[in-house]
Structure formats: C-alpha cells, structure tokens
Structure 1
Amino acid sequence: MANGFFITFEGGEGAGKSTQIRRFAQRLEAGGREVVVTREPGGSPGAEAVRHVLLSGAAEPFGPKTEAILFSAARADHVDTVIRPAVEAGKVVLCDRYMDSSRVYQGVTGNLDPAFMQGLEALAIDGMLPDLTIILDIDPRLGLTRANQRRGSDVADRFEKETLAIHRARRDAFLAIARAEPDRCAVVNASQDVERTAQGIWQAVQECLPELAQADRVGGDV
C-alpha cells in the first residue's frame, strides 16, 4: 500500500485555494494516486452542519471564543471520520483550510488566549498534523477583489466582510506561522496567474515531499 499523505492549503480570501486544490488533485490522480478533497469548516456530515452556522454569521454574536469551539468540534469530527481513515488507507488528503486558519482567524484576529487555542487544537486534531501546508500568499486587496468577482451577487460570508486591516493582519499571521514552522509550511505566491501558482505548488511538493512528487514521472503535467 502506498503511503498516505495529508496536505493542507491555507491563505486569505481570494487566494485561489479551491482552484489550486482541484488542479493538484487531478495531477496526483493522473499519477495513480487516490485523492480525497475536503474542506473546513465542513468535510463530514456533522461538520458541514456546523459550517452553515459559522459562515452564515449565526455564531458571531456569541464571540470568537464560541466560534473557535465550534470550529474545533467540527474539526474533531472531520479528522475522525474523513481525514485519518483516508490517510491510513494510503490516500492523499487535500484539505482547504485546517488548524492554521483557526490559529489566524480566531486566535490572532479574534484576540483569543494562545493557551486556550493550543488546547482546542490539540483536542481537535488528536495528533493529525499535516505532512505539508501550502500557504497561498496574496495581497489582501487583490484577494478581496478576486473574492468579490467570484461571489458575484451573493452576500459576503462571515469572514469575507471584515475590514482590509483585519485581512492584512491575517496575511501577516499566516506568514508568521510559515516562518515558525518551515519544515511543515511552504509559501507560494498566489498573486500570479493560475498556471504559475500551480507550478509553485508543485515545486514546493517536490522539495518537501519528494516521495509524493514521484507521481509526476507517471502522470506528467495536468
């Protein structure tokens, strides 16, 4: 059985995580890998129910601490029912957001106590750390412009609607995580076009997870 891998994609609004995950999944599948694409909040039936509460803003009046607890509960279910079983079965799990988003959105810009956040994280992930975290870095002003274009006439969600200053603080926080954990995190410039960003992601995979990148020898470019 091939080794399973767990790769997370992080970054601010409009960084293109969903697009890049789809492209990356196609490339891995072309190389013979079985891939599971998932997301947070959500990814499992229980977690998807919590996703609606969070992104609709229904939990916002209760404050960032309550939101952090809800994210943690959703993550624990996601890990137990989707992520860990898939990795143990030899699959490659690609997740749109994970623990770093909680560190940034609730911990840093929600001004929550670091010890509280660390305790929640430990309970939720139960040792399920990513093999690699791709941080798609983009200037928040450009990212929000892209997010607005993508959304069209739909209403901005709980987190998209916040001020530019908050989005800038989140960018800084993601980059700080990358500096603190260089063995796990790779920063990719997401202000480039889709193709160049995809190439940057693949280069990071080749450098950080060469055993997974061997799929390129079979599947080629997608």
Structure 2
Amino acid sequence: MTPADRPEASAPQPVRILLCDDHAVVRGGLRALLGSAQGIEVVGEAGSGEEAIAAARKLGPDGLDLVLMDLQLGPGMDGTEATRRLVSLPGGPRVLVLTTYDTDADITRAIEAGAIGYLLKAEQPEELFSAVHAAAAGRTALSPPVAGRVMAQLRGQRPALTARERDILGQLARGLGNREIARALFISEATVKTHLGRIYAKLGVETRSGAVAVAKEQRLLP
C-alpha cells in the first residue's frame, strides 16, 4: 500500500462542553474563548443548575463530556448541588468548577459533590484549556491556589496526637474508664484526665464517645 492509498487518521473527538453560569455575558465570553481553542466544542449553555441537568439529559453521554460549572447560580439550585446531580446521572458528564470563590468550604463542598476539578476565573486562558482537557480525560484539575488549600486541609486532617495520647485513645475505644486506663498504662488517674482533655481539644470533641467516633473516622486507632 502506497502512502496515497493509506486511509487518513481520523481527527480526535473534541471535548464537548456545557457552560453553566447565571450571567449571559460570562457565558458568551467563555463560549468565544473556548471556541478559539483546538479540541474544544461548546455544545450548550445553561443559566441555572436545573437548566444544566435538563441539558445534560437531553445531550446524553454521547453528546456531552464536561460541564463547566459556576458555584453561585442565583435563585434555585446552587452549583454544588447541580454538580452532585449531574455526576449521578447514568453516564453523567464530568464537572469542572469555574468560579471566583476559593474558600475552604466552597472547595470541600464541590469536591465532595463529585467535581473533578476546581478552577478560578482569574486563571489565564491557557490554564483553562489545559484544565478542560485534563478534566475530560479523568484527571484532577486544580488552580494552584486551590491545590495549596487542598493540601493544607489534607495535612490538617489528622491531629498530631502523642504516643501516650494514642495509647489512652486506644483504651478509651475498648470502653475502659479512667481508673482502668490508669491501671493498664501504669499512670495516675489525674494523668489520664489531663491527657483526655488534650485529646478532646485536638479532636474538637467534648465526650468520650465523640473522641472514639472521630478517632475511628480519621483512622487514629491502631
């Protein structure tokens, strides 16, 4: 077979995007910006979470890859709830958050809702294009400031308990009282009470059962 006889390689499928933002001017700007990028096609727009879900259902998994989602959408469903419902659809699209809000609470809620990425509107166009392709391919896409906040949250998830505090927490999980813990660890009851106070403060709880529950949730027990 000569080169002329060989079939031409088909062009890669563009990333098909649905824009969800309650400001028409913003959607228009994004459509124009994304339309200038290679390998990206805007297939729809939505001004609310409800509209985004309806559009995603209409386009189906064969017509939509990614939703570019704002968090604040005016009256009705917010972007976090819309994200949760979109990713729950059969064959639902991936969701990349694009917003001006970068608080820890906003980031955490969006990621827990199923967003594959979190981008700030202050990013350069090239960063947006890269994030779109990464998110469509199933890779996490985070703005640098957001990535820093996520890492800080992860580092702060596990309280820094001392070895003795971990020992006492383990005895607490067994249901032992202060006197029994003191005997098991060969320390005084007063020392046990002091350590328990520090454990409660580090875990952000006020009761023995609360300490055990948080310890199990954060895998602090042996």
The TM-score normalised by the length of structure 1 is 0.28
Query: Greater share of helix residues, 1 or 2?
Result: 1
The TM-score normalised by the length of structure 2 is 0.28
